[in-house]
Structure 1
Amino acid sequence: MTASSSSVQPGAARPKVPRRLLDGVLLLDKPIGLSSNDALIRAKRLYRAKKAGHTGTLDPLASGLLPLCFGEATKFSQDLLDADKTYEATMRLGIRTTTGDAEGEALDTREVTCDEASVREAMTKFVGDIVQIPPMYSALKRDGKPLYEYARAGQVVEREGRQVTILVLEIIACALPDVTFRVTCSKGTYVRTLAEDIGEALGCGAHLVMLRRTGVGALTLEHAVTLDALSDADDASRDAWLQPVDALLSTFPAVTLDAEASRRFTHGQRLPLAELAADRSQWGDAQRVRVYGDDGRLLGVAKPANGVLAPERLVVTPGVSAAA
């Protein structure tokens, strides 16, 4: 083959794909079998984005909502890391596994003698503030090493219990020994551990066989897209799936500044609350507000305290506008 008939010479460096300055939030429906980081890498490559990050890990066994942040949206990803999460899950009673889910080996098998009413009663005891012992098969670190590395080496290390909050816990379907339920919980909750603990409360043990995240804060699967759909789409269609940066901030009260106040705010200056025309009665006890210029552009997030509006995180990309 001659040089003119080959697009790339053997050994020649492939041309670099130009990266795009992209700001927004992608609601991805992550498939089973793919890590959150691998899903992020694939989406980032499809968008040719310069900067991207995800907002909380989903195990490879789990599917569902994985919000991905591009560009300026990465500044606000911590807000989703701290947000409540909603899942639909199925636990199988009667079998405990090494990992607490279907990927592990069976540790013991016990007879399932409970009925649906007993399951419902047991689950009510796990609503509210509870203490969980983090599983050995987790990414939490001990002496700089993830717990799962100890677990794979056959070691069990002591873990301190952590308080989490279960806001909603309800049965969707019960076909014993399988129970499908919906849970809304605080950050740091292990649904695997919740299933195991419910199983122990019932005296038969349990493990998780399905986990799907359906909500992160105010974001839901309703507008999520799959990697397959992204792969088949052209650039314009992919960009249409991006949510604006302030989709991450929809629970924060909004304030709009005039031109002069906007200029001062974007320079990091604190603004006296008395000088703002905003109706602060709508803010309630909010710890933070989202701030817009009079042209509708998102300027950042601020803390109203001690008589001033103090900039916390600023958006620096021109044209990052408000959600529709």
Structure 2
Amino acid sequence: MARKKGRDISGWLIVDKPAGIGSTDVVGKVRWALDAKKAGHAGTLDPDATGVLAVALGEATKTVPVLTEALKAYDFTVNWGAETITDDAAGEVLDSSAARPSADQILSALPRFIGDIMQIPPAFSAVKVDGARAYDLAREGEVLELDARPLYVDELTLTEARADQADLHMVCGKGGYVRAIARDLGRALGCLGHVASLRRVWSGPFDVTNAVPFTLVDRANQAEIEARLLPIQSALTDLPEMRATDQGAVRIRNGNPGQVIGGTAQYGEQVWVSHDGRAICIGRFMGGEVQPDRVFNP
């Protein structure tokens, strides 16, 4: 079997994604710039959205499921008075309204979108319907009735209200669609609405203020980009850390339960294990030992 081309390079690169490019395209550009063998990302951003896109390289891709579970924060602007087919400014207008909400009306409506809610994803989304992506079916003209999905919204606040727009800030769990929040908020206020602009300001431990500008992602800047890579364990801050003994590290690297020390994990809790300051696995704490689920190759 032919080996996949590219370098064995591992870590996280946090990119400030610009508007007008897809998340997969950003990952491809990062992989090309670093000549990396393997790359992925933790959480898609719409092509017109900007902000934090966490790109995992090599062994860091094994930590993507952990980061996917983390809370994420968005700053976004809603245009009042129209609902679009895509729930953002790029889509065809489906219906319009002359009504406009006051700041007090917006504030009174926000609590119903906080906590554990049910949300119907936009028709133009990556949700799968009978094995196909919803956006592909929607582009073909199929009328979709997507099922509501649970979403945890930790925070939804009004930043500024203007005559035709409102700026909001939202912190939510995985699977949340800001476009659906704008759509449903517009309906609740009786004025209709859609997202005008959207920026992800942080994702788990990764903040946009520390992100690499996408304009830097080029082979000519390979050394500079590589210097900005974060270690694998950067994505694991929500998990307790345990330290492997020397013998335990050998066993864990071979996929076996290994002895660990330190930490405050409870029996059966998911943890990450370090040895000599480097992450070697994610696993389950079994009382003195960790049973590895994902082992990071050195």
* TM-score interval for Structure 1 and Structure 2 normalised by the shorter chain: over 0.9
Question: Where in structure 2 are the equivalents of 1:134-283 lying within 5 Å?
Answer: 134-231=121-218, 234-271=221-258, 276-278=260-262, 280=263, 282-283=264-265
Q: CA deviation at 1:69?
A: 0.7
Number of residue pairs matched by the alignment: 294
- List alignment gaps of at least 5 residues for structure 2: none
Contact preservation (8 Å) 1:252, 1:286: no
Is the 2:249–2:258 Cα contact (8 Å) retained in structure 1? Answer: no
Asked whether the equivalents of residues 72 and 171 of structure 2 are also in contact (C-alpha less than 8 Å), the reply is: yes
- Name the counterpart of 1:315: 296
User: Distance in 1 between the 2:137 and 2:58 partners?
Assistant: 36
The answer as to 2:269 corresponding to 1:287 is yes
Measure, in 2, the Cα distance between the counterparts of 1:284 and 1:215. Answer: 28
Q: 1:56 aligns with which of 35, 43, 50?
A: 43
Q: In the superposition, relative to structure 1, how do residues 49 and 177 fare at CA in structure 2: closer, same or farther (>3 Å)? A: same
Asked whether the equivalents of residues 26 and 67 of structure 1 are also in contact (C-alpha less than 8 Å), the reply is: yes
- Once the two structures are superposed, the pairs formed by residues 295-306 of structure 1 within 5 Å of their partners are 295-305=276-286
**In structure 2, which of residues 19, 22, 26 is the aligned counterpart of residue 32 of structure 1?**
19
Query: Max radius of gyration: which structure?
Result: 1
- CA gap of 1:287–1:222, structure 2 versus 1, over 3 A, is farther
SS at match of 2:199: strand
Q: Pick from 97, 104, 114 the counterpart of residue 117 of structure 1.
A: 104
Partner residue of 2:86?
Answer: 99
Contact 2:50/2:198, CA 8 A, preserved across alignment: yes
What letter is aligned with 2:269? Answer: Q
Measured in 2, the distance between the counterparts of 1:28 and 1:108 equals 36
How far the C-alpha of 1:227 sits from its partner, in A, is 1.8
> Any gaps of 5 or more consecutive residues in structure 1?
1-17, 318-324
Q: Which residue of 2 aligns with 1:13?
A: none
Aligned-partner residue type, residue 51 of structure 1: K
Provide the rounded CA distance (Å) in 1 between the counterparts of 2:32 and 2:258: 40
What is the SS of the residue equivalent to 1:67?
strand
Letter in 1 for 2:278: R
Distance 1:265 1:146, change over 3 A: closer
- Residue 149 of structure 1 aligns to which amino acid in structure 2? D
1:42 aligns with 2:29: yes
Spell out, residue by residue over 1:63-102, the C-alpha distance to the aligned partner (whole angstroms, 9 max, x if none): 1100001111011111122222111110011111111000
Contact 2:15 2:211 in 1 (8 A): yes
Q: Conserved in 2, the CA contact under 8 Å of 1:253 and 1:286?
A: no
Question: 1: CA distance between counterparts of 2:154 and 2:40?
Answer: 27
Secondary structure of the residue that 1:154 maps to in structure 2?
coil
Tell me, in whole angstroms, the C-alpha distance in 1 between the residues paired with 2:261 and 2:66.
Answer: 27
Q: Helix, strand or coil: the match of 1:46? A: helix
- SS, match of residue 19 in structure 1: coil
1:128 counterpart = 2:110: no
Relative to its length, the structure with more strand (as a share) is 2
Structural RMSD (CA): 1.8
